[in-house]
């Protein structure tokens, strides 16, 4: 395997992804073209198309990468705490801004939610509604935090989340 070419490919993909994310901060997805990305990266269109079918495929691959990373760290079997989760979001703010802007939060079904605790707290009733309420509440405070440029620390955000669920 040619390590030099693999490194070059990774570097090209990183350039494309970084330019794309920065463009998404100021434009809508349908306003971004492959030509725009190639001009800003200085890469050929063939390099782009060797890695992505179009800008929508690029957006999907970025989403998948972020979701996979999140799931690995904070999935159902994770012992990670809320501070660690908010720290991860803080360190990846731009990607999360794009994630929410593109509405991917509505499609992803991983919950940072203790179902067994909910079943105990709510006597096993209406768990799917509690999960949905929690998911939407969590997404809303994350969006609010990101929109406020993460003014509060990850520790403060974890305390805010914890305060909403005291007594359970």
* CATH code for the domain in which residue 35 is found: 1.10.10
Residues in the chain: 168
Residues 17 and 77 in one domain: no
User: Can you list the alpha helix ranges (DSSP code H) found in 102-153?
Assistant: 115-121, 127-147
Residues 44 and 79 in one domain: no
Cβ neighbours of residue 36 closer than 8 Å, sequence gap 6 or more: 23
Contact (CB, 8 A) for 21 and 98: yes
Residues 73 and 38 in one domain: no
Q: By residue range, what is the domain housing residue 31? A: 1-52
What is the rounded distance in angstroms from the CA atom of residue 61 to the CA atom of residue 112? 22
Q: Is the dihedral of CA 139, 145, 147, 149 positive or negative?
A: negative
In tens digits, the chain (168 residues) has pLDDT values of 455 668 889 999 999 999 998 998 889 999 999 999 999 999 999 999 999 999 999 999 988 888 888 777 776 555 568 888 899 899 988 888 888 888 877 765 554 566 777 777 778 788 888 888 888 888 899 999 999 999 999 999 999 988 887 655
Residues 160 and 79 in one domain: yes
Residues 42 and 15 in one domain: yes
Question: Reduced to 3 DSSP states, what percent helix, strand and coil does the chain have, rounded to the nearest 5?
Answer: 70, 0, 30
Residues 47 and 101 in one domain: no
CB atoms within 10 A of CB 57: 12
């Amino acid at each position: 395997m040619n390590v030099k070419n693999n490194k070059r490919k990774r570097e090209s993909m990183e350039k494309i992804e970084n330019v794309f994310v920065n463009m998404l901060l100021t434009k809508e997805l349908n306003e971004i073209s492959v030509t725009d990305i190639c001009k800003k990266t200085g890469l050929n269109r063939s390099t782009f198309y060797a890695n992505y079918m179009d800008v929508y495929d690029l957006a999907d691959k970025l989403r998948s990468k972020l979701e996979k990373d999140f799931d690995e760290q904070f999935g159902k079997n994770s012992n990670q705490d809320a501070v660690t989760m908010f720290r991860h979001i803080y360190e990846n703010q731009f990607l999360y801004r794009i994630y929410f802007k593109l509405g991917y939060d509505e499609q992803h079904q991983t919950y940072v939610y203790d179902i067994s605790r909910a079943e105990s707290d709510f006597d096993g009733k209406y768990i799917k509604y509690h999960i949905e309420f929690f998911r939407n509440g969590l997404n809303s405070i994350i969006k609010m935090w990101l929109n406020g440029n993460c003014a509060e620390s990850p520790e403060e955000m974890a305390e805010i989340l914890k305060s909403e669920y005291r007594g359970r």
